[in-house]
């Protein structure tokens, strides 16, 4: 008698058979228990719908300030929770209230990610897939939206607060949060798998040059040279790929601009956090629903020349405004700063050539290169390395023209020869090539002191791959 039969006999289910024990088929495996359903999530959905019904048009009442609306929402929320008569512990009630307040007044499940200082970027790929960047690495977050409609409500809240719109006729938009974080949103039909949202966060307190030195992005010697370049009113282009920290570095460079100068900043969506008092911030405007009323970066660059600027800071050159900016640099508006998307200083020059051609002017290539060579003094190249860190890999002087070519000379290069540590982080740092840039003569004329040790002896020539 096998064990299963003996157990049945012991339980009185049947008597022991005289013959051979029958073959007892194995009991079917118990089905896996269904995933635990969060009762609080169901309650949250129910309470949320009731709250929106009770609030009605007050949700969009422009006469209500942020604090007034918050007080009304929290009062109505308490009333709805009481009406539900569901026994909740103080912790559960607090969680429910906080999450619903985020949904109504904040940015839903994104709010805690926005509040987390270790999260630098948030990427929403539809309502159920949210990724974040932390420490230079991407990971999937446990946060999710209840539905596509929930995600769309949050997107609408973001873009409406900066006077932008997003709908089927205008399904993509660039916007910003109150803290300056950059937002890009795309909705169906362009976003096939659900609305997408990308938020590049900005620190509440702008990074300083000391912060970048601490991160390893800059060295003290490089920082001293860049400070002198800005004070000497050299025209500087910050070059780099997407997410390499160009705007952060532009902020740091702008901090070297002396007080008492009039600075005009021009951006698609205001991100720069200049600390000086005399700053005029201009922002482009997309066309309205009739396709009219657009104000482009190029329009703003042209207008800025009539505003008596001491410095012009263009958040990013991405079109025909590059020609106007180069002309401004060549006509007395020294000390201008901007960024461009490129993978090396040589690529940055080529990229500027292409952008100037987008202005629609029928200019010969040599004339464009001469404009670039006479306007731009310095290219600072940022690279995001394999270990997730962002480093300045080149500080390059634009020396002039030689034949048909714009000549460049590196002052600093990133040294890859130190290898990586046990965690895969690059141990190298930017080092001086030992070549003293020609523009240092301008430092002497203006009485700007630079420690001679900034231009040390060149390191052994090494090649490496960091991108």
Could you report the per-residue pLDDT of 364-393, keeping only the tens digit for each?
A: 999 999 999 999 999 999 999 888 889 999
**Containing structural domain, residue 139:** 107-204
- Quick one: 293 and 442 in the same domain? yes
- With 80 as the cut, is the pLDDT of residue 406 above it? yes
Clarify whether residues 65 and 148 are in a common domain: no
Do both 384 and 290 map to the same domain? yes
State the CATH number of the domain containing residue 195. Answer: 3.30.450.370
Q: How confident is the model at residue 125 (pLDDT cuts 50, 70, 90)?
A: very high
Number of domains in the chain: 3
Q: Does the structure show a pLDDT above 80 at 105?
A: no
**Look-up: residue for tokens 């460079």?**
253
Same domain, 216 and 263: yes
**Boundary (domain end) residue, out of 148, 171, 204:** 204
Whether residues 144 and 290 fall in one domain: no
Q: What is the pLDDT of residue 162?
A: 76
At 13 the pLDDT is: 44
Residues 146 and 237 both lie in one domain: no
Residue finishing a domain among 169, 204, 239: 204
What pLDDT is recorded for position 278?
93
Out of 204, 230, 245, pick the residue that ends a domain.
Answer: 204
- The two beta strands, 279-283 and 172-176, are unpaired
Residues 189-242 have pLDDT tens digits of: 999 889 999 998 877 778 899 999 998 899 999 999 999 999 999 999 999 998
Mean pLDDT across the chain, nearest whole number?
82
Q: Is residue 427 part of a domain?
A: yes
Q: What is the predicted pLDDT for the residue at 42?
A: 67
Assign 3 a pLDDT band (cuts: 50, 70, 90): very low
Residues 142 and 285 in one domain: no
Kindly tell me if the per-residue pLDDT of 77 is higher than 90. Answer: no
Quick one: three-class SS letters along the chain? CCHHHHHHHHCCCCCCCCCCCCCCCCCCCCCCCCCCCCHHHHHHHHHHHHHHHHHHHHHHCCCCCHHHHHHHHHHHHHHHHHHHCCCCCHHHHHHHHHHHHHHHHCCHHHHHHHHCCCEEEEEEECCCCEEEEECCEEEECCCCCCCHHHHHHHHHHHHHCCCCCCECCECEEEEECCCCCEEEEECCCCCCCCCEEEEECCCCCCCCHHHHHHHCCCCHHHHHHHHHHHHCCCCEEEEECCCCCHHHHHHHHHCCCCCCCCEEEEECCCCCCCCCCCEEEEECECCCCCCCCCECHHHHHHHHCCCCCCEEEECCCCCCHHHHHHHHHCCCCCCCEEEEECCCHHHHHHHHHHHHHCCCCCCCHHHHHHHHHHHCCEEEEEEECCCCCEEEEEEEEEEEEECCEEEEEEEEEECHHHCECCCCCECCCEEECCCCCCCHHHHHHHCCCCCHHHCCCCCCCCCCCCC
Examine the domain organization and report whether 287 and 420 are in the same domain: yes
356 and 222: one domain?
yes
């Amino acid at each position: 008698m096998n064990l299963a039969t003996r157990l049945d006999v012991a339980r009185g289910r049947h008597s022991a058979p005289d013959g051979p024990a029958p073959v007892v088929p194995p009991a079917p495996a118990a089905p896996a228990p269904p995933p635990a359903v969060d009762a609080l999530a169901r309650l949250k959905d129910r309470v949320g719908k009731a709250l929106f019904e009770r609030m009605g048009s007050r949700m969009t009442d422009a006469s209500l300030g942020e604090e007034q609306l918050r007080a009304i929402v929290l009062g109505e929320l308490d009333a709805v929770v009481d009406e539900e008569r569901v026994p909740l512990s103080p912790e559960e009630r607090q969680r429910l209230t906080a999450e619903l307040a985020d949904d109504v007044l904040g940015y839903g499940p994104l709010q805690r990610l926005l509040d987390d200082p270790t999260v630098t970027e948030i990427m929403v790929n539809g309502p159920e897939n949210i990724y974040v960047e932390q420490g230079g690495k991407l990971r999937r977050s446990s946060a999710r939206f209840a539905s596509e409609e929930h995600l769309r409500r949050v997107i609408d809240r973001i873009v409406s607060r900066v006077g932008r719109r997003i709908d089927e006729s205008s399904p993509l938009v660039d916007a910003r949060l109150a803290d300056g974080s950059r937002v890009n949103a795309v909705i169906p039909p362009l976003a096939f798998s659900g609305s997408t949202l990308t938020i590049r966060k900005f620190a509440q307190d702008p990074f300083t040059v000391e912060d970048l030195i601490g991160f390893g992005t800059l060295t003290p010697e490089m920082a001293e040279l860049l400070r002198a370049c800005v004070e000497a009113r050299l025209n500087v282009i910050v070059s780099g790929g997407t997410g390499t920290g160009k705007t952060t570095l532009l902020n740091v460079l702008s901090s070297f601009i002396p007080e008492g100068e009039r600075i005009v900043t021009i951006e698609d969506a205001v991100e720069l956090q200049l600390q000086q008092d005399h700053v005029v911030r201009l922002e482009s405007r997309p066309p309205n629903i009739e396709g009219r009323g657009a104000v482009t970066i190029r329009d703003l660059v042209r207008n800025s020349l009539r505003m008596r600027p001491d410095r012009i800071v263009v958040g990013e050159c991405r079109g025909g405004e590059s020609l106007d900016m180069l002309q401004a640099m060549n006509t007395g508006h020294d000390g201008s700063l901007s960024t461009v998307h490129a993978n090396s200083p040589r690529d940055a020059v080529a990229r500027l050539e292409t952008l100037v051609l987008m202005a629609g002017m029928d200019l010969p290539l040599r004339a464009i290169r001469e404009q670039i060579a006479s306007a731009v003094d310095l290219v600072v190249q940022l690279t995001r390395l394999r270990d997730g860190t962002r480093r300045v890999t080149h500080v390059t002087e634009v020396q002039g023209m030689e034949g048909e070519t714009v000549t460049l000379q590196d002052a600093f290069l990133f040294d890859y020869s130190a290898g990586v540590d046990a965690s895969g982080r690059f141990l190298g740092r930017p080092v001086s090539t030992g070549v003293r840039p020609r523009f240092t003569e301008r430092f002497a004329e203006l009485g700007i002191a630079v420690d001679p040790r900034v231009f040390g002896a060149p390191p052994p020539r090494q090649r490496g791959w960091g991108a």
